[in-house]
Structure 1
């Protein structure tokens, strides 16, 4: 069985978990306090980052590379289109969320509100929190614009792009930092994706000291 070293609210870990679940690949989850830089974990990934996936006799790091490895070795159901231009668009949107959205929103809200307390590195920076709360509005509007032109974020079928976005938004939704009433199209998209069987384990996550809001696991909000 595959084994994933993860942190429950990490969007990068959640993205990998969603892909594994969608492909119906059984995986053992091992929560890893990577910031403590345990020597055993550093041997698995000297970068001291999660996720780390042990699968097929390999130990793999970096969520984007892991997801594409899973896709290539387990092509059904497909999460990347066949045509190069369509694959480009999926990768572009994955990059958008894992780079731009992560830098402007996730790191400003989730990391300030949760990670600092868990890692015992201080109190939330109110300036960062305000900046993240402002930036997420722009990103939700951009998602709504995309969904005005297509059924899913990268095209007419669900792809890795949707899982990347949902991984970030679900982590933020756990701490009530997503205004689902801002864009109805985004709310409908998220309701559709979080009702998938692949989402069940994520919606069951519980982080000590941080109870989720009542709507978090409600498929109908």
Structure 2
């Protein structure tokens, strides 16, 4: 049985969950309060970060290593296309969301709107929030370009790129940061991804004292 150490609204952790759901894997979840820096957890990942995947006596730290491990050990259904050029495009988009979107949007919004409140670290910095919101607008415009031309982000077939993007979009949507009326093509794409069986566990996530907007769980939003 696989065990995933995670945080509920962490996009990389959500991506790992989505991959395991797509591949029909059984797993347990353990929410890890990384700010406590438990010695037992630091033995699994000296960086003190999630996600960490435990597989029997072995463990894998870091989202890129976990993603590669899951795809290599569970190739069905494949989340990477067979063509080398198509795989390169999927990987480019995965990197875009796991690094660029994370740095410019997810991290600042989660830090200011969730972690500061949860850890009682003071008043959120409105300048940082505004910068994250501005960056979100730029990324949503890029997503509109991608979704306006193709069925999925990297082409006509569903792929890891869609899961990586949706992991971040779902987190930002939980925070109520997306005005879906402004992005009809992205909304249509997200509705398809959100309707997949693999997405159901994420829609059940609920942070105490921080409920999502009503449309978060709706497939018709």
TM-score (norm 1): 0.97
Q: Map Cα deviations across residues 115-148 of structure 1 (whole Å, 9 max, x no partner).
A: 1222333321100101111111111110111122
Q: What's the Cα RMSD here?
A: 1.1
- After TM superposition, the structure 1 = structure 2 runs for residues 1-221 of structure 1, keeping only pairs within 5 Å, are 1-55=1-55, 57-221=57-221
Asked whether the equivalents of residues 54 and 60 of structure 1 are also in contact (C-alpha less than 8 Å), the reply is yes
Q: Map Cα deviations across residues 73-119 of structure 1 (whole Å, 9 max, x no partner).
A: 11111101111111111111111111111111112212210012223
Q: Map Cα deviations across residues 13-60 of structure 1 (whole Å, 9 max, x no partner).
A: 000000000001011000000111000000010010000001254201
The alpha-carbon deviation at position 208 of structure 1 amounts to 0.9
Secondary structure at 1:53 match in 2: strand
Query: How many matched pairs?
Result: 221
Which segment is superposed worse, 56-65 or 44-53?
56-65
Secondary structure at 2:129 match in 1: helix
Could you tell me how far apart the structure 1 residues matched to 2:143 and 2:86 are? 17
Could you tell me how far apart the structure 2 residues matched to 1:61 and 1:120 are? 28
TM-score (norm 2): 0.97
Asked whether the equivalents of residues 195 and 219 of structure 1 are also in contact (C-alpha less than 8 Å), the reply is yes
Secondary structure at 1:65 match in 2: helix
Unaligned runs of 5+ in 2: none
Unaligned runs of 5+ in 1: none
Secondary structure at 1:54 match in 2: strand
Which contiguous aligned blocks of 4+ residues in structure 1 show a shift greater than 3 angstroms? none
Asked whether the equivalents of residues 109 and 177 of structure 1 are also in contact (C-alpha less than 8 Å), the reply is no
Secondary structure at 2:181 match in 1: coil
Could you tell me how far apart the structure 1 residues matched to 2:93 and 2:119 are? 30
Q: Map Cα deviations across residues 175-221 of structure 1 (whole Å, 9 max, x no partner).
A: 10112111111000111101111011110001111011111111111
Could you tell me how far apart the structure 2 residues matched to 1:119 and 1:81 are? 42
